[in-house]
Structure 1
Amino acid sequence: MSWQLTDDVETFIATAGDFLQSRPVENTNLLTIVDTVRRRGRNAYGPGVPIFGWWSTPGGRVAGVLVQTPPHPVIFSQLPPRAVPAAVEALGGHVLPGANLTADAVDGFVAGWRNRTGVRTHIVRRTRLYRLAALTPPPAPPPGRACYAGAGDQGLLEGWLLAFHDEIGERRPDDPRGMIEDRLDHGGVLLWEDGGHPVSMAMRSLPAAGTVRVQIVYTPPVHRGRGYAGAVTVAATREALDAGVRDVVLNTDLANPTSNALYQRLGFRPVEDRVIVEFTT
């Protein structure tokens, strides 16, 4: 049993692609990251050389993976217990800004990494992955309608994207324009308009192994409390279902009870919890 690392996304996909697609709900974030690097190049998320890794059993079966796209934390799939301390050793020659692991594995990896490198660690965010069971729209939707964002909305979307990251305390994307353009290319941004003016947005990932993730649901503070976020989430979810995907998922910040309650009312059910930890010298 051992970890193997590479900086080549095609080698990673050839080896670990079947593992990723075997659990597309739990691996939704990893599938999106790998697809984005494959389509947009190794620096799609920022400068620096990415790391791709897989944990193999003695029989050669892949049973866990990791991906790190600098300057972002390394993100792990669900892992067998033995893979956690072994990951500390395998990544020992790298400088990591942080780690994103399932709640049952985070303490073991973080303690091992702290002991090995001497870094300080602190929890940035606790998240929950939800999967749609049965879509349950609000009984009284807000006024307005959903529509696809277009090139003319680029500036608005960039501003909202940056505001979203600032609000949740997450690093801003290095290339917000490129990120928005990538979403617009596949109709991946829905707006809710009221009175002809955009008041909320929801983005969605490209389908991966029959799964789409609704993400970056944002309503400017001045428009909150009117049901726009729920309405645009329902619209994005319906759009994905109409396209024929098997599962629709989303991630939430567990520190935000409002969004967690909203998504459960809309028919999403918990799948797994994760913890994002930052490392500092």
Structure 2
Amino acid sequence: MEFVQYEDAKQFAEVAEPIIAKNEDVFSLFFGILQAIKAGKYENPFMAAVTDEGDVLALLQMTPPHPLNLIIVNESRKDEAIDFVIQELRVNSIAIPSVISVKQWAISFASAWERHTGETQKLLMDQGLYRLDKVDESLEMSPGTWRFATDADAPLIEKWFAMFEEDTNLNRTSPELVKERVATFLEAREVFLWENEGKVVSMMKKSRPTKNSVTVSLVFTPKEERKKGYARTMVAQGSKELLKDYKFCVLYTDMMNPTSNKIYKEIGYQHIADSIHIGFEK
């Protein structure tokens, strides 16, 4: 086996994209980040492939400090490939804070990482991956209308961004970085807001667009406006707008939150895979 690292994202894409394209919905996170790397949006990305006599066995991608994303291409050689990957990561002194992948692959990697390094794994997020091709038109909508967020909405979105991280137990982003990110979101017209009687009551974000797909993320409704159907309506109307430009939408849900999984199914999202994010502690 050979461990091939890539400095040039376009060269890596020539290897990775034909594989990803076969299951673009399941590999949407990997594919979307690869497009961002190609566009120069990440500094010092890590990209690698495991090959054997010309056959690709695994693909790896990481944009520190974010998790390692792993795709196993040859399932029959999964354990062999993972052990080889970990050996090469350690030889090359590549730090791995966490791994995110299709559930069974991430679990296998985490177990092997524990065995090789003595570090302890910690579950960070158990997620469901959903795909939408068409919104259910019979869905009852909450009152109000959607609009794109503008610069005037920045303070509210910054506040809600921090509250979203708190609700989902994500690592807190510094206020300075939140401000930067929100400004970037607004410039790219990526934030959708649901407004009722002049008050913004819910939001969602467009993320990681590719030629065929786009991810719905950062779905948030403040506590005082919950249980009124606003999030479901926002995602339904926002997704419908996105489907004008993309073949399908994808989104990740917290499998420990049955409410969110239920509302996405009501919109028309179909569960296509399970994903898991596992961290490592020394």
Name 1:84's counterpart in structure 2.
82
Pick closer, same or farther for the CA change 1:79–1:262 going to 2, 3 Å: same
Please list, as runs of the form range in 1=range in 2, the aligned pairs for 1:139-218 lying within 5 A after superposition.
139-173=139-173, 175-218=177-220
Q: Please, which moves more after superposition, 143-152 or 130-139? A: 130-139
Q: CA deviation at 1:78?
A: 4.2
Structure 2 counterpart of 1:75, one-letter code: N
Q: Please, which moves more after superposition, 265-274 or 22-31? A: 22-31
Look up the SS of the partner of 2:232 in the other structure: helix
Question: How far apart, in 1, do the equivalents of 2:87 and 2:111 lie?
Answer: 12
1:217, 1:229 within 8 Å by CA — same for their partners in 2?
Answer: yes
What does the per-residue CA deviation read over 1:149-196, in whole Å, with 9 as the maximum and x for residues that have no partner? Answer: 112111211221121122111123463233323332332111000111
Question: How far apart, in 2, do the equivalents of 1:203 and 1:110 lie?
Answer: 30
When you count helix as a share of all residues, which structure comes out higher? Answer: 2
Pick closer, same or farther for the CA change 1:78–1:265 going to 2, 3 Å: farther
Question: How far apart, in 1, do the equivalents of 2:99 and 2:189 lie?
Answer: 31
2:139, 2:266 within 8 Å by CA — same for their partners in 1?
Answer: no
- Pairwise CA RMSD of aligned residues? 2.0
Q: Specify which of 205, 208, 232 is matched with residue 234 of structure 2.
A: 232
Please list, as runs of the form range in 1=range in 2, the aligned pairs for 1:38-57 lying within 5 A after superposition.
38-43=38-43, 49-57=44-52
1:134, 1:267 within 8 Å by CA — same for their partners in 2?
Answer: yes
Pick closer, same or farther for the CA change 1:139–1:109 going to 2, 3 Å: closer
Q: CA deviation at 1:261?
A: 0.7
Question: How far apart, in 2, do the equivalents of 1:213 and 1:112 lie?
Answer: 30
2:37, 2:45 within 8 Å by CA — same for their partners in 1?
Answer: no
Please, which runs of 5 or more residues in structure 2 have no aligned partner?
A: none
Task: Give the TM-score taking structure 1 as reference length.
Answer: 0.89
2:139, 2:267 within 8 Å by CA — same for their partners in 1?
Answer: no
Question: How far apart, in 2, do the equivalents of 1:28 and 1:118 lie?
Answer: 31
Question: How far apart, in 1, do the equivalents of 2:31 and 2:173 lie?
Answer: 18
Question: How far apart, in 1, do the equivalents of 2:133 and 2:157 lie?
Answer: 29
Question: How far apart, in 1, do the equivalents of 2:239 and 2:179 lie?
Answer: 24
Q: What is the percentage of aligned positions where both structures have the same residue?
A: 25
Name 1:248's counterpart in structure 2.
249
Question: How far apart, in 2, do the equivalents of 1:9 and 1:172 lie?
Answer: 29
